[in-house]
Amino acid sequence: MFHEDKTFNLRFSLEASFPDDYDGDEDHHVWVQDWEQRIKPEMTKMIFDFLRRHSAWTVHVRNRGVSPLDEIEIAMVKDFSNRSLA
């Protein structure tokens, strides 16, 4: 079977600014916890809900050994193997 692929990246860079008198890890990265516990799960669900509306594609998470804290890969597959392209 012949296979083609294309990669598209949508990257989020999270940053936090603190006052000059901030002494390092005082907040224990609470701002990252907000992203991990509230924003990222809701955003991921919205993305999957939207992509699954396109029934010609199947969508799933693909794990390539990178921590889900650092990366979520969404694989989209369009299968032409059961129909003629002519």
Q: How confident is the model at residue 85 (pLDDT cuts 50, 70, 90)?
A: low
Please give the Cα distance from 6 to 85 (Å, whole number): 19
- Tokens for 54? 């396109």
Tens of pLDDT along 15-60? 988 888 887 777 788 889 999 999 999 999 999 999 999 999 999 9
